[in-house]
Structures are given as structure tokens and as C-alpha cells.
Structure 1
Amino acid sequence: MSGNDYVKFMTQEIVKYMELPQDERRKRKKSKKKQSSFSSKWFGLLPFAFKLLVKKKK
């Protein structure tokens, strides 16, 4: 992906986000907070990376 394509993509995503009603944006934000797992919330990305590594070896 070239730099120009990346800027175009990011611009489109920002415009989509800005066009959403404020209530919808709040709902998305709340749902993202609910989806975060306990381990990543309290210990960061390290447990997630370790879990992926273990699954990959199996």
C-alpha cells in the first residue's frame, strides 16, 4: 500500500466516523470496552502474545 493509498483510506474512515450520529459512536465505544478481556486489560498485550504462541505450537 503506497502512502497515497493509505492517506485516502484513512480519510475515508475518518469521514465515515464523523458522519455517524454521536449516539452511535458512544454505543461503539461502550461495546469495545466490554469486549476487552481481563488479561489484556490488566496485563497488556503480553499474555495475548503468549497465548497465540502456545496455540501456534500445538
Structure 2
Amino acid sequence: MSGNDYVKFMTQEIVKYMDTPHDQRKKQKQYSKRVRNDVSDHWLGLLPFAFRLLMKKKK
């Protein structure tokens, strides 16, 4: 990927981000956080879940 292609790609992504409404971006962020947690629990078992609970209790 050349420098011009990278600048073009980044510009497109920024414009796409700015065109989406705030509440839709917020929903997408919440969804991706939920999916990421589910994937780690699925692939690694109970340990990530237990570690996350332990960290929440310390806060």
C-alpha cells in the first residue's frame, strides 16, 4: 500500500465515521465491547471471566 492509498483510505474512514450519527456510533461501540468479551470467554474459558470479576471487585 503506497502512501497515497493509505491517506485515501484514512480519509474515507474518517468521513464515514463523521457521517454516522452519535447514537449509532455509541451502539456500535457497546456491541463491539460485548462481542469482544464473549469471544474471549468462548475461546479461553472461565479464566478471563474470573479475572474480569476479580478486577471489578477491586475497583
TM-score by length of 2: 0.61
Give the number of aligned pairs: 40
Q: Gaps spanning 5+ residues in structure 1: where?
A: 43-58
Q: Where do 4+ consecutive residues of structure 1 move more than 2 Å?
A: none
CA-based RMSD of the aligned residues comes to 1.1
TM-score by length of 1: 0.62
- Higher normalized helix content (fraction of residues): 2
Q: Gaps spanning 5+ residues in structure 2: where?
A: 49-59
Identity %: 62
Q: Which residue of 2 aligns with 1:8?
A: 8
